[in-house]
Structures are given as C-alpha cells and as structure tokens.
Amino acid sequence: MPWLYTIGMYTAGPAIRLAFRPRVEGLENVPRTGGAVLASNHLSVADEWMMGAVVPRHIAFWAKDEYFNTPGLKGWFYRALMNSLGAIEVRREGGRAALTAFDAAIPALRAGDLVGVFPEGTRSPDGRLYRGRTGIARLALLADVPIIPVGCIGTDAVQPIGTVIPRLGPKVTIKFGEPVDVTGRTMDSSSLRAITDEVMSRIQKLTGQEYVGRYAPPKKQ
C-alpha cells in the first residue's frame, strides 16, 4: 500500500469520520480481499476522500492527468501527492494515451487492489446522474473482477464545485451496492454498454438522483 495512504488510514481517515460522521450502508459488499472496481457517482472532490475514509482498504483512484502534468512547483506537489497515494493517471485526449490508465489499473486489480472510478467522467454540474462511460465494464472484464456500485449523497454540500475548504455540518451518506458480476460477459460494444447501464441504474437506485441519458458536459475552463 502506498505510504501516504497508509498514514492517512490511521490519521486523516479517523479525523474525517469524526468530523463529518458519514453514514455508511452496505460496506459488507466491498470484498475484504481481492480486486474490485468501485464505480461511484461524482458530485464533489469530497467523494474521493470520503470513500477513502470509510473503506478499510487502499483504493487506487483514477485521477485526471492535470494532477500529474501541471508544470512548476504546484505540479511537482500534485505529482508527488498522487504518486504517494497510489492514484492512477487518466489521460483524456483519446487514442493510446487514454489506455495508460488501463495499463496501470489492470495489474493492480489482478494483484487484489481496489480501483475507484467515476463512470460519468467528470463531476455532475447540477446534481443529476449522467450516462456512464463503458471504461468501467472494459476494466472489470479485462481484470476479471466485479464492479461495486457506490452512491455518494451530500458530498456536494460538504465541498461544492469550486471550493477548497470543506464545510462541516451537511449530512453525508455513502452507500455500497451489491457487486455486479461480469463473469461470462463479452467484450463487444453492446455488452459493454449493457454492463455500464446496469451499474448506472444501480447507482441511481442508491442515490435517488435524477438520471440523464447523455454524457455530462465537459467542465468549463
């Protein structure tokens, strides 16, 4: 387990649970050992650190490539932080570059790690749940691991988009659904879409969000 994540499990994790008192449901659905993809809705940056605080295992989150490629001192800090947490870089320009996340995630899953993915690809701009991208299905099939649907509720009130300092007070609930078994499923496009839609449907049932049948709009620069 990456050294900083290990330290955080015994320091930041308990502090987050004490300060925010998140309600946790279905944690028994997260396997104690073995690889699995944690597929969550995405309302806030707080989704990641809140999930990390309540799951007693290392989660290798997919993280946008800006955290790894920003120039200067700020970039050095972000790279060091992401690497020490065991995050996996996701490059979004497409082609071979976009597959580097799979190159890192598949060995981690096969070695028994958890990988955290946000299928919407970006934070929801309005609190609704948007169509999922099929990378989660492809990842689970290639690594031969289950997908655990995760629903984060209230994290957008703790750390709204654009804010840096989390707010105390809002109620947060993290729900873990029953695993989606991909054993025997094929890698064709229709199967990938069916698996992804099934996962998104389960996330929607966990959160109660309104579902939007299109991809989330890209973040404005």
| Interior/surface letters 147-177, b for 16+ CB within 10 angstroms, e for the rest | bbbbbbbbbbbbbbeeeeebeeebebbbbbb
Min mean pLDDT across 49-58, 95-104, 112-121 is at: 95-104
Assess whether pLDDT exceeds 90 at residue 103: no
CATH of 34-212, one of 3.90.550.10, 3.20.20.70, 3.60.21.10, 3.40.1130.10: 3.40.1130.10
Nearest to 101 by CA among 131, 49, 139, 137: 139
Q: What integer is the mean pLDDT of 205-218?
A: 95
- Model confidence pLDDT, tens digit, residues 36-91: 999 999 999 999 999 999 999 999 998 777 777 778 877 777 777 787 888 888 77
Rg of the chain over all Cα atoms, to the nearest angstrom: 16
One-letter amino acid at 1 equals: M
One-letter amino acid at 62 equals: W
> Which pLDDT belongs to residue 138?
94
- Model confidence pLDDT, tens digit, residues 156-195: 999 998 898 999 999 999 999 999 999 999 999 999 999 9
Helix axes 46-54, 12-20, angle to 10 degrees: 100
Cβ pair 87, 65 in contact under 8 A: no
pTM of the model: 0.91
> Which pLDDT belongs to residue 1?
79
Domain ranges of the chain: 34-212
Question: What mean pLDDT is reported for the chain?
Answer: 91
For 126, which DSSP code? S
Spatial separation of the C-alpha atoms in residues 23 and 5, rounded to whole Å: 22
